[in-house]
Amino acid sequence: MKYVRMTVRGEVQGVNLRYKVKEKAKELGITGYVKNVSDGSVYIEAAGEDSALDRLADWLRSDPGSAKVDEVRVRAATGDDYVDFSVR
């Protein structure tokens, strides 16, 4: 199990990105959460297999839905044992 923190920048708020992230995370077997940040970015804490986390980051970079992603920053983290994936 690997833990990461992701920051997604661009036109990422107000376009239902958090809910799309939740759906994709569940599809990939990832647990954690996603939330909007006051600076206009979206923050994700995620736990899962390396390949699943890489796929989530790649998916985010593909401008999912109406989002226009300028940057996806992924950092290693220590994590909690999340039960599911939630929107905060």
| Total tally of structural domains belonging to the chain | 1
Is 14 contained in some domain? yes
Residue 3: CB atoms within 10 A of its CB come to 19
Give the CATH number of the domain where residue 60 resides. Answer: 3.30.70.100
Residue tagged active-site, from 5, 9, 16, 36: 36
Is 87 contained in some domain? no
Q: Do residues 7 and 60 lie in contact, with contact meaning Cβ atoms separated by under 8 Å?
A: no
3-state secondary structure string across 10-52: EECCCCCHHHHHHHHHHHHCCEEEEEECCCCCEEEEEEECHHH
Where does the pLDDT of residue 81 fall: very low under 50, low under 70, confident under 90, or very high at 90 and above? confident
Percent of the chain past pLDDT 90, that is, above it, reads 93
pLDDT at 80 over 80: no
**Residue 73 a catalytic site member:** no
Residue tagged active-site, from 18, 61, 75, 88: 18
Token pair, residue 50, equals 């390396």
User: For the whole model, what pTM was predicted?
Assistant: 0.95
**Residue 5 a catalytic site member:** no
Domain hosting residue 51, numbered range: 2-80
